[in-house]
Every structure is written in C-alpha cells, then in structure tokens.
Amino acid sequence: MPVLTTQVKTNKSVHREDNKTQQQVSNTTVKVQLQSVSKTYTNGTHALLDANLEVKKGEFLFITGPSGSGKSTLLKLLYGQELATQGEVIVDGCNVAGLRGDRLSLLRRRIGIVFQDYKLITQRTVAENVTFVLQAQGYTRKEIQRRLEPTLKLVGLLSKADCFPDQLSGGEQQRVSIARAIVGTPPLLLADEPTGNLDPDNSWQVIQILQKLNSFGATVIVTTHDEQLLRRCNHPVVQVRNGQLSRK
Ligand SMILES: Nc1ncnc2c1ncn2[C@@H]1O[C@H](COP(=O)(O)OP(=O)(O)OP(=O)(O)O)[C@@H](O)[C@H]1O
Ligand SMILES: [Mg+2]
C-alpha cells in the first residue's frame, strides 16, 4: 500500500508513489449520509436534531459552529462511538447502527480519525503511537517502517520520533494524532478541530496535508472554529447551531 508523501518533494519516485496513492484511495472512496438524525445523550442533552447531510465521495467538507453545538457528536456518530437516537447514519454503504464487532472494526479501518482530545497513548513513543494502528491491522514491519518516516516528516516530527507524549507541546501532540490518522492513507478522514492547538503556519500546513489526501480521492470532513481557514480554503461549509445543520 502506498504512502502519503510531502507536497514539496519533487523527485520522480515520489511522484510515481503519489500516483499509486491516488489510484489506491480513489478506488475505495467513501460516501457519508445522515438521514433525519437526532442524538440525545442519556442525561437528556439534545446534541443533534433532525440532521440531514450528504458528503459525496471525494468531497472536502468543513463543519463549523459554536462550542457545544454538536460537531464532535456528528463525527462520533460517523465512526460509531455514539449511536443515533433517531434516523440513519450511513458510511460507505453501511448503516453504522447495525454494525457490531468485526464489521464495525472493518469500517473503522477505513476511517482515519483525528480526535479533538488527541487520545495518544502516554506510555508509548511518538513512533509507536503512529504505528500502533498499523500493527494492529497486521501490516508487516517493513511496510510500517516504509510509512513511518515520510509521515513523521510530513507533520514535522521526525526528530521527536522517540519522545513520549508528555515530552511534547500541545501542538506537537496534535500533529502526532494527525500522523496516526493519515499513516494508513484512509479513504475517509474525520478530523475534529485538527488545528485547534496550532499556530497559523502549522494550521495551514495541516490543512494542506488533509487537502493532499483529499486530492488522492479521500473523503475528508474537518471541524473547525477558524473562520480565517474557512475563507482561505474555499471548501463547502456546514454550520451546526443547536444541533441543527445548514449549508453556509
Ligand atoms: N457524553 C455526553 N453526555 C452528555 N452530553 C454530552 C456528551 N457529549 C457531548 N454532550 C453534549 O452535547 C452537546 C454537543 O457536544 P459536542 O461535543 O458535540 O459539541 P462541539 O460542537 O463539538 O463543541 P466544541 O466546539 O466545544 O468541541 C453539548 O451540549 C455537550 O455538552
Ligand atoms: Mg467538539
């Protein structure tokens, strides 16, 4: 399986590799649908109300809205961490609520997730955090090594490969979580405020990495509060307000 490499490299082998990546990802692109979805948490909080959304294969979509409006909940429904109270969540042709065990694991293998709270394993190094998922998925040591270095380079953390998360700044930890999400070049990437802790330069670099994955055919959904980023990117934007969605 191919590796996502940096935009700035220009040698021919990298371009060949990128073309392979393009084929690989676009052959397996993913569509996402929410049909009349509501989510009420057990304490009675209504996080989403009759939400409808269709994200086409290969689309890059931003989701924005005030704190507490339901953005993370929406993403959690897509990867099955939370279940809808009403309506259907369909990812890659599967009704997420109907998936259990192996079938849910198989879907999640196709989804790269950048968690808002990073979810790094504190006892593991940066390199181990990034490769952990690949190991669990049965990638060979050779393939894991082939992917690790370019991915760490891409997020500017090659020199920190042997550090533990508590030896990193917040922004560096965030970039580890981004590296972990993209290292397997997933056909669907869900990123929950992936630039929330980054300065403008690093934010822009991260968005460019996500755009590159998208240019290879991956469907990308990113939540953000960053109005400047939204204006700069010109991708479609969905606004969440009090659990209700509207196209901006
Ligand atoms: N596990 C939970 N149990 C109960 N209520 C929850 C739970 N998770 C989220 N909520 C509530 O659901 C609503 C939506 O939360 P959510 O995390 O989706 O918002 P958000 O738009 O991602 O906010 P932020 O921008 O601060 O990350 C909020 O009112 C929140 O308090
Ligand atoms: Mg959130």
Give the residue extent of every domain in the chain: 31-110+186-248, 113-185
The top-level CATH class assigned to 31-110+186-248 is alpha beta
- Ligand 1 pocket mutation, candidates 39, 40, 45, criterion most atoms within 8 A of CB: 45
Tell me how far apart the alpha carbons of residues 242 and 70 are, in angstroms, rounded to a whole number.
7
User: What are the two backbone dihedrals, phi and then psi, of residue 140, each rounded to the nearest 5 degrees?
Assistant: -70, 160
Give yes or no for residue 212 having a pLDDT over 70.
yes
**Assigned token pair, 32:** 């996402």
Give yes or no for residue 23 having a pLDDT over 90.
no
Q: List, for residues 142-190, the tens digit of each pLDDT value.
A: 999 999 999 999 999 999 999 999 999 999 999 999 999 999 999 999 9
**Assigned token pair, 8:** 């700035």
Q: How far is the CA of 137 from the centre of ligand 2 (A)?
A: 28
- Concatenated DSSP letters of 39-94: EE-TTS-EEEEEEEEEE-TT-EEEEE--TTSSHHHHHHHHTTSS--SEEEEEETTE
What pLDDT does residue 26 have? 41
What pLDDT does residue 3 have? 64
Is the separation of the CB atoms in 238 and 53 below 8 Å? yes
What pLDDT does residue 27 have? 46
Give yes or no for residue 63 having a pLDDT over 80.
yes
Pocket of ligand 1 from Cβ distances under 6 Å: 41, 43, 45, 47, 65, 67-73, 116
223: three-class secondary structure by DSSP: strand
Can you tell me which atom of ligand 1 is nearest the CA of 225? 25
What pLDDT does residue 5 have? 59
User: Roughly how many angstroms between the first and final C-alpha of the chain, as a whole number?
Assistant: 37
DSSP state of 168: S
Protein residue with least CA distance to atom 27, ligand 1: 67
- Ligand 1 pocket mutation, candidates 34, 40, 41, 245, criterion most atoms within 8 A of CB: 41
